[in-house]
Structure 1
Amino acid sequence: MASDVDSTPLVGRADQLTKLRSALLDDLGPGHTAAVFLTGESGVGKTRLLREVAVELRGAGALVLTGSCLDIGDASPLHPLLQALRRFDAELTAAQARTSSAVRGLLQVFTEGTPGPDGAGALLERVSRGLHVIAGGRPLVLVLDDLQWVDRSTRQLLLYLLAGLGDLHVSVLAAIRAESLQGAHPLRRVLTELRRLRSVQVLDLTPLDRAGTDRLAAAIVGAPLSAEAADQVWQRSGGNPFVVEELARDLRDGRDGLSDTLREIFLARVDALPEHAHAVVHAVAAGVEPVGHWLLGQVVRLPEDELIEAVRAAVAHRLLVGADDGYRLRHRLVAEVLPYELLPAERAALHRRYAEALTTAPAELHQARLAHHWRLAGEPARALPAAMAAAREAERLHGYAEAHRHWSAALQLVAAPTGGPPDADRPDRAVDRAELLEHAAEAAHHCGEHARALALLEELAGDAAGPPPCALHIRRARYLAAAGRSAPAEAEYRRALEAADCTPRERATAAAHLAELLLHLGRYADAGRRAREALELAAEVEGSTSEVVLASAALGFSEAYLEDPEAGLAVMRQALETAERSGRPEDVACAYLHLAELLTGPLNILEEGVVVARRGAERVAELGLGRTWETRLLAIATNGLFRVGQWAEAEKVVAAALRHRPSGADAVELLLARCRLSVGYGDIEASDRDLEAVATMLAGGGARHVLPMLILRAGLAMWEGRHDVARQAVQRGLTESRSDDVIVLATLAWHGLRAEAEAHASRTVAVDEQAVRRLREVVDRVRRKSEHAARPVRYIVDGFLVLCEAEVSRLDGRGDPELWARSAAEWDRRQHPYPAAYSRLRQAEALLARRSRVATAGKLLRQAHEMAQGLGAAPLSSEIRTLAGRARVALQERPGDPAPVRTRAAAAVVEPTVDELAVLTAREREVLAAVAEGLTNKEIGQRLFISERTIGVHVSHIFDKLQVRTRVQASAIFLRNRPD
């Protein structure tokens, strides 16, 4: 089963390659012998590794003879050595006549043989002397493949040589299929004897790990696999390189199903099993892994001793893996192959035995397994109650993806034919299909299957037993909002509030959810009014905790943005406490989300905001909302880390979040966060790909994400020199915007003015004076509106307004260095390195254009370059270098010093090689651990029984020792270095 394609990269075997070379050559003293026997299952890569080692050893000056054993017993004595000598002779040139003569002389020995009672010993001695002559003083290595088929003469020769009985000093490298060494195989006894020699090693070559599997598959396909495809290859192959290669080629060539090659190989391995082991593997393949020993015994119905022997044989043949919790197939492909080898009645009988065994063991009852086996046994009436029980069990444990799967299975079971006569007493007759649809839709919504949730809801709306119109409007609105379709969601909430059948609780629910939606759309005043209305309605309804949490979070955000940050934050923190007391997952997630958004956004309390977002992500993951709310919180953390310049850390966070494969608005949030990084890094292809994906997902609505998407589109277009495209994106944003978010509007205006200034500087596109006038009007409107916003909001807006004013000064072709100096100082105070570096670039450009203070301009360019390089901002770094080159400014303080280049790839893989926390005292480590949890100095002091002032001293010392400036940076170092 080894692959014959040497063009495939050797993955995950570097350590073994080094170890084998050392054992066979580097560590071998004069006059000594050595041997390494590689064992492993078929296809694990033994043959490929033998070839790679042979190439290494030849390159080091050794004489390497390679041969393979045949599966024909003793009919071909010394066949592998004979094959190796013939191959070697064919490779010799005319200049190597002496060696060729020695080889042919030894080949003649094989044809003559040696008669008499001592013939075997004499033959071995003659072979040893012949090999000694051929080696000519060089190290000699015999490389033998498929040693499990070795003939008796070759076994004797290996023992003779390795025991040092001849004059030859040789090394042996041989590969053995582990599953072939069963029972009384003669090679087992040989290996047992050889293991006693210190010069002999037996190494078991294990399958690749997950990372190696992904690398090998990607190399064959020619591109990284999607998360789903990579998971499938890993699960089906078990890391076996041959199987990985076959599956990857099928993916690359677009072939569906299982190849005939793999099918026949695995069938042959199963067919080679003893009878009872064959039955055991079939039973495990039909089961749900892990299959406990007691359960397997109930299904195969063998006496205990025979069952253990059968399992032992299946494990020895590398088809099963045993553990404390039961048995698993080593390769999931076996489960795909074996069912087709059984008759339908045989498969159904296996599943019925599983179901009956699980039913008779209440202590071990697992409803999901029971439903699975009854369904495949062809008894949907008995599978349905188990499927519903499994769904409820999953919901109780917050496993919404599993719950959705079970509810969907229950829906199929209700509609499934029984294959028998009608029975009025069947359990599924009394099941309400509308109830199943309702549960399935809600579970789909919770686990992020938004399109599926909406489809199920439409089916529910057409059911006569479905909920009334108001309840349907609220549900549809929630699902639409989660799918990123904000406009139709808002309309549905308003329909719910106007519905004649709307109850007081439903009215409170609709108002609270509408307040949250308006908040996301940036309509903060409207959100505050709706939130107050919702709280008034909720006060009249008993048990309306969820409505109170949702409305309080929206109200707190609105107040903090528009009026009083401290009061708004207090309301939001109270909402989080209420949510935690209620324990409802969506309430907790909502409270964390709005608090993190407020801190990292309008209030610009970035350190605390990032910590809250990451802590909230961990909390909601515990509550089963990993694919939805956790991904939203991680998107917020990513954006916060981007703004403070922690781009490498932000990239890790967004990559981890995308592994959940979110959909709808959750996916849009993460794609925008990743695109923001890609635009900063200058990865145009990745940015375009993400923006196209976002635009596609927003085709059905999603106003809240349109402005961020257009801002990124404009930023990317400017780095590409497409200033007209940037202008179009900004103008579209100004036309479509209904947001009260002055920060977003200020950002959009800056991008528009920057695009016009870039157009003027490049002279590739004429400045659009009408667009400039409109943008200046927007700047004035933002300035007026921000006067009524809370102080932290004004603080951020003022930074963008300074940028806008400075960009306008560029439109005369020179720029105002004082305005750019003010912008750099403003963004330094806000700890936003990217706009600070950009402002320094423009300040230097303005100074150089005026031919004044050239030394100051050089210093500014060096500062900007260092900041941009530290971020990995390739386009900004490139523009700085271009200006510095034109001005003949050296970007390093000392000529010849290398620039601190930090590419995106390098930033993404930075890992500590030492314990970065080693410089801290034990007490400082305790304090840092609490800081990483997001605790304030006061809270840390209460936990550690130290004054708040002392905690402040400890934090200062930690910052100095770790050479960081913020709590976010210190927390990142702690999380990187903490023990698992």
Structure 2
Amino acid sequence: MGNRSDGTPRGMPELIGRGQHFDAIWRAYRMAADGRATVVALAGEPGIGKTHLLAALAAHGAADGAIVLRGSASEAAGMPPYLPFLEALGGYIRATPPERLRAQAGELAPVLATILPELPTRIGALAPGYPLPAEQARLRLYEAIGFFLAAAAEGSPLILILDDLHWVDAASLDLLAHLIRVQPTIRLLLAGAYRPGEATENPALTRALAELSRLRALTIVEITPLDRSALADLASARLAAPLAPDVLAALHQKSEGNPFFAEELLRDWRESGAIIETGAIWRATPGLAASLPATIAAVVHQRLSRLDPATGALLQTAAIIGRRFDAPFLSQVAGLGDEQTEDLLQGGVRARLLGVDGDGTYAFGHDTVRECLYGDVTPVRRRRLHGFIGRAIEARGAAHTSRQLAELAFHFKNSGDRARGARYSRLAGDQAAATYAFVEATVHYREALDLLDADVAERGPVLLSLGEAASLANAEADAVAAFEESETIFLRDHDPVAAARGARGAGRSAWRQELTAQARTAFERGLAHLDGRDSREAVEIMVDLAGLLGVSQQRQQEGVVVGRRALTLAQRLGERSLETAARRALGDVLIRGNDFAAGLPLLEAALSAAIEEDDPAIAAECCSALFHAFYWLGDLRRAWAMLDQRLTFARRSNDLHQLRHVYAWQTMQLAHQGRWAEAAATLDTAQLLVERLPNPEAQGFLQVVRGTLAWLQGDYETAETYARRVVGIFRTLGPGALLWYLAPLGILQIKRGKIEEALATFAEVEGLLAAQQSGTVQAADALSWLGAGAVLLRDRERAARSFGQLLPFAGRHTDFLVDRVLGELATVLGDWPAGEGYLAAAEAQARAGGDRIELPNVLAAQGRLAGARGGPGAVARARDLLDAALAHYDELGMAGEAARVRAELRQFAIPPAARPRPALPGGLSAREAEVLRLVATGRSNRAIAAELSLSERTIGNHLTNIFNKLGIDNRAAATAFALRNDLA
């Protein structure tokens, strides 16, 4: 067939002036075809040619053997959630043999059928899936779609085209990001187009693009206007002859390089006689100057005005239906025969206003065409047509799909039929919530409320549903308002149990915003509504209240009382899931009250039950509490392992609130290993997540972690800046929250020589402590910071006071090992035996728990004690301990502490490099000899790393050096050498 002048094969969409853009798109396709899931997004203004490039991708991809699926969104209200995926996957399901569909859907077919009603009609009836909590069920749906697409792409690459991304719903965009995140090796290209100006009005799109960019899976192709040369080629291709220079200049000036505008102008000029072909060139007539509309809409209106009136009227009716429609349905709405409708529609096709698919579905060629037609319909006729369309959809049957429900709600709302509009809006909201599209559900519920009278009983349930959907969409302030209004209506209608549900919802959403006083009031209102009834609702509210009191308000004694009441009632009701929730809440509060003996068994039992019941949300909460328990016990190995479990369950729950601290703590875990680059990347992930939550506590904790990273790396100025920012955030959340985070500012002020400011900070901490319950983990945390301040200040009076206050918490781990602080305080007080005892206990705890940051802190403290105590061999011991601490600090990249230790070593007469050391056999270093000794005991690299609090990679490097120095190549020979030379 040959190629056109633009280089494209005949039969393929033209690429006039778009070769460079298409090359970028095709590179993304090749990457996807090679097994790396990729997204390419075309960005450009309306009419710039994005859809044309997507069509070219589809044609070239199909020619290359790819499976091409298409879906789009619409600006019109009434669009159901997941519409682009419904269209794309629905088309695939209709075109694929049932046997292949059955194999590709597999066991997840019932899950897919929740949004793809075509599936059971193709492969047969499906057994219903088992019910799951909303968050978990949404994740299961996303996983099912991911597996389905992966199966479809096994034989051929898959191109999924999603046009008009700026109008795509939040649920579809969340699904899109999930697919790329969890299926990175699927042979899938997701190709979409969006208008940058309108994209900013869709926060979900902004969020999705940021996530895809972070995953390095996004290519954005900016589609720019055509230059004059490309416009000349476009005109020649459309008119089969070139334009005269003055006509081309007018085209370039008016269209500004916009291809759609240019093509509409050319059609308008030719139809109106503004240009004529003479001598194989299109020249201007006197009418051209009068035929220069200023906008795309204006030129479209001019072309519409020349249509046959009957065709124009029918297209107006079609515009009310939507961007896509089928002729039989349009005939029904318009009251015309099928043949007459088809004849009139062909007029729109000939005018290039409509296109028709292979299955007979019509679509407007551009949104501007539909918008112009819709705007030309009078308000009275528009309402009447919306009513006709709604009743026609209604007549199709009672079992409506999510798309039909959304359309029914839209059309009846705009028809003036308030009763039907409210009913279908509520049903559309329920359907959207059932498919986990919570943002879309809130829109439908609000529309239902707008259509319901203020005094009708139906408002209460709709408001309750709105509150639940808003909370799941992380719109907590909106959720509180909806729940509180539902509570008022239920009380008016004498339904105290439903009122209690509304109060609980308001309390939980307030709590998620750290509005703890408001949350407590709401929970107490809910219990008052129940008036002592033994019910599930009472247990649920008491579980929440116990956690609020004991965790957020630091009122552990009150929280324990409420938690025990909740557990007793749950046991009396005999509902295991309630018992699990109550055990989790009570165990967490007991731990925070420093009663680990009572709290740990409750938490471990709750976690086992949650895993058995397959409740990832409760399991994540159990893991969160157990993580803190092990952290405060100083067992960091178990704490980090529990953090990994927490992440697994939090992801499965698909609840952002469950993830609010996980990545921040993962950052801390990486910092404990000196993996600063990975820590920074993980912190960026945490930032993206926290930005989506209306939770100041989570945002504040992120600043805590940023400051901690700066602190550990010795950048005390930056750390102080973050600490001040943190104090400002938590001061607004109340004294209980502030107490956790105020004291570190004082330590940084000391390190930066701001002693008076530090003393003022510590005075405020002491005042906050006096107002809080004593004996709690939070008290231990604040007291350990005050103790560390007394050590830095060398203040014996403060040290004596801190020592006595910290003693009840010996063996605990707050932000420090408490025993290490006690040992340093004893050193300040000159109590050498006590200091040595506590520091020895701290060293053992750091080694056993794998605390790589506290271990060098302990070694340095032991060195300082040895130097301060004096006596025979004290200087050598101090040097050795400080040297050992320095090695750890250098390995971890803790520059500030390393500099401090180097300064302390310089105070000794002999610098570290010049000190005489006993010669070791084979030229081994002291560290290599220590590693060799442990190899000779039969320990693995992992066990040696744990023993020495080093990374496994570092141990491997040491062994390589040992083998090279000794001329051996295995552990048996190394063991023999160690035994011969008395190293083991």
Instruction: Please report the TM-score for the alignment, with normalisation by the length of structure 1.
Output: 0.52
Query: Which residue is equivalent to 1:832?
Result: 851
Query: Which residue is equivalent to 2:222?
Result: 241
What value does the CA root-mean-square deviation take over the aligned residues? 6.7
- Kept in 1, the 8 Å contact 2:780–2:814? The answer is no
Query: Which residue is equivalent to 1:713?
Result: 745
Amino acid at match of 1:512: V
Query: Which residue is equivalent to 1:385?
Result: 423
**Partner-residue secondary structure (3-state), 2:514:** coil
Map Cα deviations across residues 653-695 of structure 1 (whole Å, 9 max, x no partner): 4433443346778551354145224323246787677666655
- Kept in 2, the 8 Å contact 1:559–1:567? The answer is yes
Map Cα deviations across residues 409-457 of structure 1 (whole Å, 9 max, x no partner): 4333437xxxxxxxxxxxx996622222222223333443332233334
**Are residues 780 and 395 of structure 1, via their aligned partners in 2, closer, same or farther at CA, if it must alter by over 3 Å?**
farther
Amino acid at match of 2:465: H
- Kept in 1, the 8 Å contact 2:704–2:726? The answer is no
Map 1:810-959; keep pairs closer than 5 Å.
826-841=845-860, 863-877=884-898, 879-880=900-901
**1:533 Cα offset (Å):** 2.0
Query: Which residue is equivalent to 1:537?
Result: 569
Query: Which residue is equivalent to 1:72?
Result: none
Question: Is 1:780 the equivalent of 2:804?
Answer: yes
Map Cα deviations across residues 489-512 of structure 1 (whole Å, 9 max, x no partner): 445545655678342325444433
- Kept in 1, the 8 Å contact 2:255–2:261? The answer is no
Measure, in 2, the Cα distance between the counterparts of 1:669 and 1:334. Answer: 44
- Kept in 2, the 8 Å contact 1:749–1:779? The answer is no
Amino acid at match of 1:749: L
Measure, in 1, the Cα distance between the counterparts of 2:754 and 2:465. Answer: 50
Amino acid at match of 1:780: G
Question: Is 1:412 the equivalent of 2:450?
Answer: yes
**1:811 Cα offset (Å):** 8.4
Measure, in 1, the Cα distance between the counterparts of 2:692 and 2:773. Answer: 24
- Kept in 2, the 8 Å contact 1:290–1:328? The answer is yes
Query: Which residue is equivalent to 1:803?
Result: 821
Residue from 625, 632, 637 that aligns with 1:594? 625
Measure, in 2, the Cα distance between the counterparts of 1:796 and 1:807. Answer: 16
Provide the aligned length of Structure 1 versus Structure 2.
666
**1:520 Cα offset (Å):** 1.2
**Are residues 354 and 957 of structure 1, via their aligned partners in 2, closer, same or farther at CA, if it must alter by over 3 Å?**
farther
**Partner-residue secondary structure (3-state), 1:504:** coil
**1:780 Cα offset (Å):** 1.8
Question: Is 1:747 the equivalent of 2:747?
Answer: no
Question: Is 1:465 the equivalent of 2:492?
Answer: yes
**Partner-residue secondary structure (3-state), 1:593:** helix
Query: Which residue is equivalent to 2:234?
Result: none
Measure, in 1, the Cα distance between the counterparts of 2:54 and 2:675. Answer: 55
Query: Which residue is equivalent to 1:78?
Result: none
- Kept in 2, the 8 Å contact 1:292–1:327? The answer is yes
**1:736 Cα offset (Å):** 2.1
**Are residues 751 and 721 of structure 1, via their aligned partners in 2, closer, same or farther at CA, if it must alter by over 3 Å?**
farther
**Are residues 517 and 858 of structure 1, via their aligned partners in 2, closer, same or farther at CA, if it must alter by over 3 Å?**
same
Give ranges in structure 1 of 5+ residues lacking alignment. 1-34, 50-175, 189-205, 212-219, 245-259, 416-427, 761-768, 788-792, 895-951, 970-980
Query: Which residue is equivalent to 2:698?
Result: 669
Measure, in 2, the Cα distance between the counterparts of 1:616 and 1:281. Answer: 56
- Kept in 2, the 8 Å contact 1:39–1:178? The answer is no
Question: Is 1:550 the equivalent of 2:577?
Answer: no
Residue from 731, 736, 739 that aligns with 2:768? 736
Instruction: Please report the TM-score for the alignment, with normalisation by the length of structure 2.
Output: 0.52
**1:731 Cα offset (Å):** 3.3
- Kept in 2, the 8 Å contact 1:470–1:499? The answer is yes
Measure, in 2, the Cα distance between the counterparts of 1:724 and 1:750. Answer: 20
Question: Is 1:660 the equivalent of 2:689?
Answer: yes
Question: Is 1:479 the equivalent of 2:479?
Answer: no
Map Cα deviations across residues 610-668 of structure 1 (whole Å, 9 max, x no partner): 444444444344444x2212324545555555556666555544433443346778551
Question: Is 1:513 the equivalent of 2:513?
Answer: no
**Partner-residue secondary structure (3-state), 1:659:** helix
Q: Which moved more, 1:471-480 or 1:531-540?
A: 471-480
Residue from 555, 574, 578 that aligns with 2:605? 574
Amino acid at match of 1:736: L
Query: Which residue is equivalent to 1:681?
Result: 710
**Partner-residue secondary structure (3-state), 1:503:** coil
Query: Which residue is equivalent to 2:461?
Result: 435
- Kept in 1, the 8 Å contact 2:633–2:812? The answer is no
**Are residues 866 and 443 of structure 1, via their aligned partners in 2, closer, same or farther at CA, if it must alter by over 3 Å?**
farther
- Kept in 1, the 8 Å contact 2:481–2:506? The answer is no
Measure, in 1, the Cα distance between the counterparts of 2:322 and 2:904. Answer: 65
Map Cα deviations across residues 168-207 of structure 1 (whole Å, 9 max, x no partner): xxxxxxxx99969999xxxx9xxxxxxxxxxxxxxxxx99
**Are residues 953 and 520 of structure 1, via their aligned partners in 2, closer, same or farther at CA, if it must alter by over 3 Å?**
same
Measure, in 1, the Cα distance between the counterparts of 2:20 and 2:839. Answer: 62
**1:806 Cα offset (Å):** 0.9
Residue from 521, 531, 536 that aligns with 1:501? 531
Measure, in 2, the Cα distance between the counterparts of 1:605 and 1:874. Answer: 25
Query: Which residue is equivalent to 2:117?
Result: none
Map Cα deviations across residues 379-428 of structure 1 (whole Å, 9 max, x no partner): 6544433332233234444554444444334333437xxxxxxxxxxxx9
**Are residues 342 and 517 of structure 1, via their aligned partners in 2, closer, same or farther at CA, if it must alter by over 3 Å?**
same
Measure, in 2, the Cα distance between the counterparts of 1:700 and 1:343. Answer: 54
Map Cα deviations across residues 814-867 of structure 1 (whole Å, 9 max, x no partner): 999967787556534432222333444555667778998777666655654554
Amino acid at match of 1:443: A
Query: Which residue is equivalent to 2:144?
Result: none
**Are residues 883 and 636 of structure 1, via their aligned partners in 2, closer, same or farther at CA, if it must alter by over 3 Å?**
same
Query: Which residue is equivalent to 1:454?
Result: 480
Map Cα deviations across residues 744-770 of structure 1 (whole Å, 9 max, x no partner): 43332332233344456xxxxxxxx6x
Amino acid at match of 2:787: L
**Are residues 328 and 550 of structure 1, via their aligned partners in 2, closer, same or farther at CA, if it must alter by over 3 Å?**
farther
- Kept in 2, the 8 Å contact 1:579–1:588? The answer is yes
Map Cα deviations across residues 445-473 of structure 1 (whole Å, 9 max, x no partner): 34433322333344445546366476665
Measure, in 2, the Cα distance between the counterparts of 1:890 and 1:348. Answer: 89
Measure, in 1, the Cα distance between the counterparts of 2:764 and 2:693. Answer: 23
- Kept in 1, the 8 Å contact 2:784–2:818? The answer is yes
Measure, in 1, the Cα distance between the counterparts of 2:219 and 2:389. Answer: 25
- Kept in 2, the 8 Å contact 1:726–1:752? The answer is no
**Are residues 268 and 648 of structure 1, via their aligned partners in 2, closer, same or farther at CA, if it must alter by over 3 Å?**
same
**1:552 Cα offset (Å):** 0.9
Measure, in 1, the Cα distance between the counterparts of 2:915 and 2:14. Answer: 58
Measure, in 1, the Cα distance between the counterparts of 2:328 and 2:720. Answer: 56
Question: Is 1:268 the equivalent of 2:300?
Answer: no
Question: Is 1:628 the equivalent of 2:657?
Answer: yes
**Are residues 352 and 36 of structure 1, via their aligned partners in 2, closer, same or farther at CA, if it must alter by over 3 Å?**
same
Measure, in 2, the Cα distance between the counterparts of 1:299 and 1:652. Answer: 56
**Partner-residue secondary structure (3-state), 1:833:** coil
Give ranges in structure 2 of 5+ residues lacking alignment. 1-6, 25-48, 61-161, 166-175, 181-195, 226-252, 268-299, 305-311, 917-938, 957-984
Amino acid at match of 2:542: A
Measure, in 2, the Cα distance between the counterparts of 1:453 and 1:486. Answer: 16
**Are residues 553 and 233 of structure 1, via their aligned partners in 2, closer, same or farther at CA, if it must alter by over 3 Å?**
closer
**Are residues 850 and 287 of structure 1, via their aligned partners in 2, closer, same or farther at CA, if it must alter by over 3 Å?**
farther
Amino acid at match of 2:566: A
Query: Which residue is equivalent to 1:90?
Result: none
Measure, in 2, the Cα distance between the counterparts of 1:283 and 1:861. Answer: 85
**1:783 Cα offset (Å):** 1.8
Measure, in 1, the Cα distance between the counterparts of 2:896 and 2:698. Answer: 24
